[in-house]
Amino acid sequence: MTGTDVLVTGAGAVGGYAVEFLARRPEVRSIVILDRDGDRATGVAWRATLGALQEGKHVSINGVAVDLADRDATAEVIARFAPRVIFHAATLITVPEMARGLPPDDFARVRASGMAGFLAAHLVLGLSVQAAIAETSLNTSLITAPFPDFANQVLARTGHAPLTGIGNVDNMAAELQAAVARKLGISALSVQPLIVAHHSVAEWFQRSGSAGAAPWHARVSVDGVDISEQLDLDGLMAESSARIRPVPQESRTAASGVKAVLAALRDDGTFLHGAGPAGLPGGWPIRLWADRVEVLPVPGIDRQAGIETALAGQRKGGIEQIEEDGTLIATETCAAMMSDLFGVDVSRITPAEIPETAMALRRALSARIAA
Protein backbone atom coordinates (compact mmCIF):
# COMPACT_ATOMS: atom_id res chain seq x y z
CA MET A 1 0.00 0.00 0.00
CA THR A 2 1.41 3.42 -0.90
CA GLY A 3 0.38 7.02 -0.92
CA THR A 4 -1.38 7.20 2.43
CA ASP A 5 -2.66 10.67 3.23
CA VAL A 6 -1.85 10.75 6.96
CA LEU A 7 0.18 8.61 9.32
CA VAL A 8 -0.49 9.21 13.01
CA THR A 9 1.94 8.00 15.68
CA GLY A 10 0.40 7.10 19.01
CA ALA A 11 -3.10 5.76 19.64
CA GLY A 12 -3.54 7.59 22.93
CA ALA A 13 -5.95 10.42 23.58
CA VAL A 14 -4.54 13.03 21.18
CA GLY A 15 -3.72 10.54 18.42
CA GLY A 16 -7.03 8.74 18.85
CA TYR A 17 -9.09 11.92 18.64
CA ALA A 18 -7.04 13.06 15.63
CA VAL A 19 -7.84 9.88 13.72
CA GLU A 20 -11.54 10.25 14.57
CA PHE A 21 -11.62 13.84 13.33
CA LEU A 22 -9.50 13.20 10.22
CA ALA A 23 -11.65 10.25 9.18
CA ARG A 24 -14.62 12.59 8.72
CA ARG A 25 -12.86 15.18 6.58
CA PRO A 26 -13.38 15.24 2.80
CA GLU A 27 -9.65 15.87 2.20
CA VAL A 28 -8.68 12.55 3.77
CA ARG A 29 -8.99 9.18 2.04
CA SER A 30 -6.52 7.03 3.97
CA ILE A 31 -5.02 7.00 7.46
CA VAL A 32 -2.52 4.78 9.26
CA ILE A 33 -2.14 4.84 13.03
CA LEU A 34 0.91 3.36 14.73
CA ASP A 35 1.17 2.24 18.33
CA ARG A 36 3.28 -0.21 20.28
CA ASP A 37 0.00 -1.79 21.42
CA GLY A 38 -1.31 -3.28 18.17
CA ASP A 39 -4.73 -4.04 19.62
CA ARG A 40 -5.15 -0.42 20.66
CA ALA A 41 -4.09 0.82 17.22
CA THR A 42 -6.50 -1.58 15.54
CA GLY A 43 -9.29 -0.61 17.92
CA VAL A 44 -8.82 3.11 17.34
CA ALA A 45 -8.74 2.54 13.57
CA TRP A 46 -11.95 0.51 13.65
CA ARG A 47 -13.70 2.96 15.98
CA ALA A 48 -12.83 5.83 13.64
CA THR A 49 -14.02 3.80 10.64
CA LEU A 50 -17.39 3.20 12.30
CA GLY A 51 -17.70 6.82 13.46
CA ALA A 52 -17.03 8.14 9.95
CA LEU A 53 -19.64 5.78 8.53
CA GLN A 54 -22.19 7.37 10.84
CA GLU A 55 -21.59 10.55 8.83
CA GLY A 56 -21.69 8.80 5.47
CA LYS A 57 -17.92 8.67 4.89
CA HIS A 58 -15.76 5.61 4.32
CA VAL A 59 -12.01 6.02 4.77
CA SER A 60 -9.28 3.39 4.64
CA ILE A 61 -7.83 3.29 8.18
CA ASN A 62 -5.14 0.82 9.26
CA GLY A 63 -3.88 0.23 12.78
CA VAL A 64 -0.32 -1.10 12.87
CA ALA A 65 1.73 -2.43 15.78
CA VAL A 66 5.20 -0.91 15.88
CA ASP A 67 7.57 0.17 18.64
CA LEU A 68 8.51 3.68 17.56
CA ALA A 69 11.78 3.35 19.48
CA ASP A 70 12.77 0.74 16.86
CA ARG A 71 13.94 3.04 14.09
CA ASP A 72 14.33 0.31 11.47
CA ALA A 73 10.82 -1.06 12.08
CA THR A 74 9.40 2.47 12.05
CA ALA A 75 11.23 3.25 8.81
CA GLU A 76 9.84 0.09 7.20
CA VAL A 77 6.27 1.07 8.06
CA ILE A 78 6.75 4.66 6.91
CA ALA A 79 8.27 3.45 3.62
CA ARG A 80 5.45 0.95 3.10
CA PHE A 81 2.66 3.49 3.55
CA ALA A 82 4.52 6.52 2.13
CA PRO A 83 2.43 9.11 4.00
CA ARG A 84 2.04 12.63 2.68
CA VAL A 85 1.83 13.92 6.26
CA ILE A 86 3.05 12.43 9.54
CA PHE A 87 1.31 13.65 12.68
CA HIS A 88 3.58 12.62 15.54
CA ALA A 89 1.53 12.39 18.74
CA ALA A 90 3.35 9.61 20.63
CA THR A 91 5.27 10.19 23.85
CA LEU A 92 6.58 8.09 26.73
CA ILE A 93 4.90 10.21 29.40
CA THR A 94 1.70 12.25 29.45
CA VAL A 95 0.68 15.13 31.68
CA PRO A 96 -2.71 13.54 32.55
CA GLU A 97 -0.85 10.43 33.71
CA MET A 98 1.23 12.56 36.07
CA ALA A 99 -1.83 14.47 37.25
CA ARG A 100 -3.68 11.26 38.07
CA GLY A 101 -0.78 9.28 39.47
CA LEU A 102 1.47 11.61 41.43
CA PRO A 103 0.68 12.92 44.92
CA PRO A 104 -0.87 16.38 44.51
CA ASP A 105 2.06 18.15 46.19
CA ASP A 106 4.55 16.40 43.89
CA PHE A 107 2.58 17.26 40.77
CA ALA A 108 2.24 20.87 41.91
CA ARG A 109 6.01 21.07 42.34
CA VAL A 110 6.58 19.60 38.88
CA ARG A 111 4.31 22.22 37.33
CA ALA A 112 5.81 25.08 39.31
CA SER A 113 9.44 24.06 38.70
CA GLY A 114 9.09 23.16 35.04
CA MET A 115 7.24 20.47 33.11
CA ALA A 116 10.23 20.36 30.75
CA GLY A 117 12.06 18.25 33.29
CA PHE A 118 10.47 15.38 31.37
CA LEU A 119 11.41 16.77 27.96
CA ALA A 120 13.68 13.83 27.06
CA ALA A 121 10.69 11.50 27.37
CA HIS A 122 8.73 13.70 24.96
CA LEU A 123 11.63 13.85 22.51
CA VAL A 124 12.89 10.29 22.28
CA LEU A 125 10.18 8.91 19.96
CA GLY A 126 10.26 12.05 17.83
CA LEU A 127 13.98 11.56 17.28
CA SER A 128 13.31 7.97 16.25
CA VAL A 129 10.57 8.99 13.81
CA GLN A 130 12.86 11.69 12.45
CA ALA A 131 15.65 9.15 11.86
CA ALA A 132 13.18 6.74 10.27
CA ILE A 133 12.02 9.40 7.81
CA ALA A 134 15.65 10.00 6.87
CA GLU A 135 16.08 6.27 6.15
CA THR A 136 13.15 6.31 3.73
CA SER A 137 14.21 9.48 1.87
CA LEU A 138 10.52 10.43 1.67
CA ASN A 139 9.65 14.12 1.41
CA THR A 140 6.85 14.01 3.97
CA SER A 141 5.38 16.83 6.06
CA LEU A 142 6.11 16.34 9.76
CA ILE A 143 3.86 17.90 12.40
CA THR A 144 4.42 17.28 16.10
CA ALA A 145 2.37 17.26 19.29
CA PRO A 146 4.61 16.39 22.31
CA PHE A 147 5.86 19.65 23.89
CA PRO A 148 6.68 21.15 20.47
CA ASP A 149 7.69 24.61 21.73
CA PHE A 150 10.68 22.90 23.31
CA ALA A 151 11.06 19.74 21.24
CA ASN A 152 11.00 21.24 17.76
CA GLN A 153 14.07 23.31 18.56
CA VAL A 154 15.97 20.08 19.13
CA LEU A 155 14.46 18.28 16.14
CA ALA A 156 15.31 21.23 13.89
CA ARG A 157 18.96 20.71 14.86
CA THR A 158 19.10 16.92 14.52
CA GLY A 159 17.52 16.12 11.14
CA HIS A 160 14.26 16.38 9.17
CA ALA A 161 12.73 19.41 10.90
CA PRO A 162 9.03 19.50 11.75
CA LEU A 163 7.07 22.19 9.93
CA THR A 164 5.36 23.10 13.17
CA GLY A 165 3.92 21.79 16.38
CA ILE A 166 0.33 22.06 17.49
CA GLY A 167 -1.83 23.00 20.47
CA ASN A 168 -0.52 25.33 23.15
CA VAL A 169 -0.69 28.86 21.66
CA ASP A 170 -3.12 27.65 18.98
CA ASN A 171 -5.38 26.58 21.83
CA MET A 172 -5.02 30.01 23.41
CA ALA A 173 -6.02 31.64 20.12
CA ALA A 174 -9.24 29.62 19.99
CA GLU A 175 -9.97 30.54 23.60
CA LEU A 176 -9.57 34.24 22.85
CA GLN A 177 -11.77 33.93 19.75
CA ALA A 178 -14.54 32.34 21.78
CA ALA A 179 -14.15 34.60 24.83
CA VAL A 180 -14.12 37.83 22.80
CA ALA A 181 -17.13 36.68 20.77
CA ARG A 182 -19.01 35.83 23.95
CA LYS A 183 -18.19 39.19 25.53
CA LEU A 184 -19.17 41.22 22.45
CA GLY A 185 -22.07 39.08 21.30
CA ILE A 186 -20.57 38.45 17.85
CA SER A 187 -19.47 35.49 15.76
CA ALA A 188 -16.14 34.03 16.84
CA LEU A 189 -15.29 33.66 13.16
CA SER A 190 -14.97 37.45 12.92
CA VAL A 191 -12.32 37.48 15.67
CA GLN A 192 -8.64 37.03 14.83
CA PRO A 193 -6.03 36.86 17.60
CA LEU A 194 -2.31 37.16 16.88
CA ILE A 195 -0.27 35.72 19.76
CA VAL A 196 3.41 35.28 20.57
CA ALA A 197 3.91 33.23 23.71
CA HIS A 198 5.45 30.06 25.05
CA HIS A 199 3.67 26.84 25.98
CA SER A 200 4.29 27.60 29.66
CA VAL A 201 1.94 30.60 29.43
CA ALA A 202 -0.92 28.40 28.22
CA GLU A 203 -0.09 25.82 30.89
CA TRP A 204 -0.08 28.42 33.67
CA PHE A 205 -3.42 29.84 32.57
CA GLN A 206 -4.88 26.35 32.72
CA ARG A 207 -3.29 25.77 36.09
CA SER A 208 -4.07 29.02 37.89
CA GLY A 209 -5.85 31.48 35.63
CA SER A 210 -2.79 33.70 35.12
CA ALA A 211 0.24 33.76 32.85
CA GLY A 212 2.47 32.72 35.74
CA ALA A 213 4.83 35.69 35.48
CA ALA A 214 5.79 34.59 31.96
CA PRO A 215 5.39 37.31 29.30
CA TRP A 216 3.08 37.00 26.34
CA HIS A 217 2.04 39.35 23.56
CA ALA A 218 -1.34 39.37 21.83
CA ARG A 219 -3.39 41.57 19.52
CA VAL A 220 -7.04 40.91 18.71
CA SER A 221 -8.95 42.18 15.67
CA VAL A 222 -12.64 42.01 14.85
CA ASP A 223 -13.46 42.20 11.15
CA GLY A 224 -9.95 43.54 10.58
CA VAL A 225 -10.12 46.29 13.23
CA ASP A 226 -7.68 46.01 16.15
CA ILE A 227 -9.65 46.27 19.42
CA SER A 228 -6.91 44.98 21.73
CA GLU A 229 -6.85 48.09 23.89
CA GLN A 230 -10.55 47.65 24.66
CA LEU A 231 -10.06 44.15 26.06
CA ASP A 232 -8.69 42.63 29.25
CA LEU A 233 -6.91 39.73 27.54
CA ASP A 234 -5.56 38.26 30.78
CA GLY A 235 -9.06 38.35 32.24
CA LEU A 236 -10.61 36.71 29.19
CA MET A 237 -8.00 33.92 29.28
CA ALA A 238 -8.63 33.43 33.00
CA GLU A 239 -12.36 33.15 32.36
CA SER A 240 -11.81 30.60 29.60
CA SER A 241 -9.42 28.58 31.74
CA ALA A 242 -11.94 28.42 34.57
CA ARG A 243 -14.59 27.10 32.19
CA ILE A 244 -12.48 24.33 30.71
CA ARG A 245 -10.30 23.35 33.66
CA PRO A 246 -12.65 20.64 35.05
CA VAL A 247 -12.69 18.57 31.85
CA PRO A 248 -10.07 16.67 29.76
CA GLN A 249 -8.63 18.76 26.95
CA GLU A 250 -6.95 16.31 24.60
CA SER A 251 -9.73 16.64 22.03
CA ARG A 252 -9.09 20.33 21.41
CA THR A 253 -5.35 19.72 21.14
CA ALA A 254 -6.08 17.01 18.59
CA ALA A 255 -8.30 19.47 16.70
CA SER A 256 -5.35 21.85 16.45
CA GLY A 257 -3.30 18.98 15.02
CA VAL A 258 -5.99 18.15 12.48
CA LYS A 259 -6.04 21.78 11.32
CA ALA A 260 -2.28 21.65 10.70
CA VAL A 261 -2.47 18.27 8.96
CA LEU A 262 -5.20 19.51 6.63
CA ALA A 263 -3.18 22.64 5.84
CA ALA A 264 -0.26 20.45 4.78
CA LEU A 265 -2.51 18.16 2.74
CA ARG A 266 -4.14 21.10 0.96
CA ASP A 267 -0.80 22.91 0.61
CA ASP A 268 -2.70 26.18 0.80
CA GLY A 269 -0.99 28.44 3.35
CA THR A 270 -3.70 28.06 5.99
CA PHE A 271 -3.49 30.53 8.89
CA LEU A 272 -3.03 29.07 12.37
CA HIS A 273 -0.80 29.40 15.41
CA GLY A 274 2.18 27.05 15.38
CA ALA A 275 4.27 25.80 18.30
CA GLY A 276 7.95 25.69 17.53
CA PRO A 277 7.42 26.53 13.83
CA ALA A 278 10.61 26.23 11.77
CA GLY A 279 12.48 25.41 14.99
CA LEU A 280 11.67 28.69 16.76
CA PRO A 281 11.05 28.76 20.51
CA GLY A 282 7.47 29.37 21.59
CA GLY A 283 4.29 29.81 19.59
CA TRP A 284 3.66 32.17 16.68
CA PRO A 285 0.99 32.98 14.08
CA ILE A 286 1.92 31.20 10.86
CA ARG A 287 0.81 30.19 7.40
CA LEU A 288 1.40 26.54 6.60
CA TRP A 289 2.06 24.69 3.33
CA ALA A 290 3.14 21.12 2.67
CA ASP A 291 6.82 21.98 2.57
CA ARG A 292 7.21 25.31 4.31
CA VAL A 293 5.95 27.59 7.04
CA GLU A 294 5.80 31.37 7.10
CA VAL A 295 6.00 33.04 10.51
CA LEU A 296 3.78 36.12 10.43
CA PRO A 297 4.51 39.53 11.94
CA VAL A 298 2.52 40.65 14.97
CA PRO A 299 1.87 44.37 15.52
CA GLY A 300 3.74 45.75 18.50
CA ILE A 301 6.53 43.18 18.65
CA ASP A 302 9.41 42.43 16.29
CA ARG A 303 10.98 39.02 15.66
CA GLN A 304 13.81 39.41 18.18
CA ALA A 305 11.51 40.68 20.92
CA GLY A 306 9.18 37.78 20.16
CA ILE A 307 12.03 35.30 20.53
CA GLU A 308 13.01 36.89 23.84
CA THR A 309 9.39 36.65 25.00
CA ALA A 310 9.29 32.96 24.07
CA LEU A 311 12.63 32.24 25.75
CA ALA A 312 11.44 33.89 28.97
CA GLY A 313 8.47 31.51 28.94
CA GLN A 314 10.80 28.63 28.13
CA ARG A 315 12.85 29.34 31.23
CA LYS A 316 9.64 29.43 33.25
CA GLY A 317 8.91 26.00 31.80
CA GLY A 318 12.22 24.60 33.04
CA ILE A 319 14.72 24.94 30.17
CA GLU A 320 17.47 27.52 30.55
CA GLN A 321 18.95 26.99 27.10
CA ILE A 322 18.92 24.72 24.06
CA GLU A 323 22.38 24.71 22.55
CA GLU A 324 23.21 24.74 18.85
CA ASP A 325 23.60 20.94 18.71
CA GLY A 326 20.29 20.39 20.54
CA THR A 327 21.73 19.88 24.02
CA LEU A 328 19.19 20.67 26.74
CA ILE A 329 20.22 22.79 29.72
CA ALA A 330 17.65 22.75 32.52
CA THR A 331 17.13 25.61 34.94
CA GLU A 332 18.56 25.05 38.39
CA THR A 333 15.04 24.95 39.86
CA CYS A 334 13.86 22.33 37.39
CA ALA A 335 16.98 20.18 37.72
CA ALA A 336 16.75 20.24 41.53
CA MET A 337 13.09 19.21 41.46
CA MET A 338 13.76 16.31 39.07
CA SER A 339 16.66 15.10 41.20
CA ASP A 340 14.70 15.35 44.46
CA LEU A 341 11.48 13.72 43.24
CA PHE A 342 12.70 11.27 40.61
CA GLY A 343 16.43 10.82 41.10
CA VAL A 344 17.23 11.68 37.47
CA ASP A 345 19.85 14.24 36.45
CA VAL A 346 18.40 16.45 33.70
CA SER A 347 20.71 19.40 34.22
CA ARG A 348 22.44 18.82 30.86
CA ILE A 349 21.30 16.29 28.24
CA THR A 350 22.93 15.93 24.83
CA PRO A 351 20.88 14.51 21.94
CA ALA A 352 22.84 11.25 22.22
CA GLU A 353 21.83 10.99 25.89
CA ILE A 354 18.12 11.57 25.31
CA PRO A 355 17.13 7.87 24.84
CA GLU A 356 18.82 6.72 28.04
CA THR A 357 17.49 9.69 30.02
CA ALA A 358 13.99 9.15 28.63
CA MET A 359 13.92 5.54 29.81
CA ALA A 360 15.25 6.58 33.23
CA LEU A 361 12.44 9.14 33.48
CA ARG A 362 9.86 6.55 32.45
CA ARG A 363 11.07 4.09 35.10
CA ALA A 364 11.27 6.78 37.78
CA LEU A 365 7.78 8.10 37.13
CA SER A 366 6.29 4.59 37.10
CA ALA A 367 8.01 3.79 40.40
CA ARG A 368 6.87 7.07 41.97
CA ILE A 369 3.27 6.47 40.88
CA ALA A 370 3.34 2.85 42.07
CA ALA A 371 4.69 3.93 45.46
pTM to 2 decimal places: 0.97
Other Cβ atoms within 10 Å of 161 Cβ, number:
19
Q: Are residues 13 and 96 in contact, defined by beta-carbon separation less than 8 angstroms?
A: yes
pLDDT given for residue 2 in this prediction:
54
Mean pLDDT of the chain: 96
pLDDT given for residue 244 in this prediction:
93
Residues constituting the chain: 371
Give the Cα separation of 75 and 78 in Å (integer).
5
Q: Is 353 exposed, middle or buried (0-12, 13-18, 19+ CB in 10 A)?
A: middle
DSSP string, 68-82: TT-HHHHHHHHHHH-
Q: Are residues 43 and 71 in contact, defined by beta-carbon separation less than 8 angstroms?
A: no
User: DSSP class of residue 209?
Assistant: S
pLDDT given for residue 203 in this prediction:
86
pLDDT given for residue 213 in this prediction:
79
Q: In 263-318, at which residue ranges do the beta strands (DSSP E only) sit?
A: 270-275, 283-288, 293-295
pLDDT of the chain, 371 residues: tens digit per residue: 458 999 999 999 999 999 999 999 999 999 999 999 999 999 999 999 999 999 999 999 999 999 999 999 999 999 999 999 999 999 999 999 999 999 999 999 999 999 999 999 999 999 999 999 999 999 999 999 999 999 999 999 999 899 999 999 999 999 999 999 999 999 999 999 999 999 999 888 888 888 777 899 999 999 999 999 999 999 999 999 999 999 999 999 999 999 999 999 999 999 999 999 999 999 999 999 999 999 999 999 999 999 999 999 999 999 999 999 999 999 999 999 999 999 999 999 999 999 999 999 999 999 999 98
Domains with residue ranges and CATH for the chain: 1-370 (3.40.50.720)
Q: Is 171 exposed, middle or buried (0-12, 13-18, 19+ CB in 10 A)?
A: buried
Find residue 255's DSSP bridge partners: none
SS3 113: helix
Burial 23-50 (b: 16+ CB within 10 A, else e): bbbeebebbbbbbbeeebbbbbbebbbe
Alpha helices in 55-168 (DSSP H): 71-81, 95-101, 104-113, 119-136, 148-158
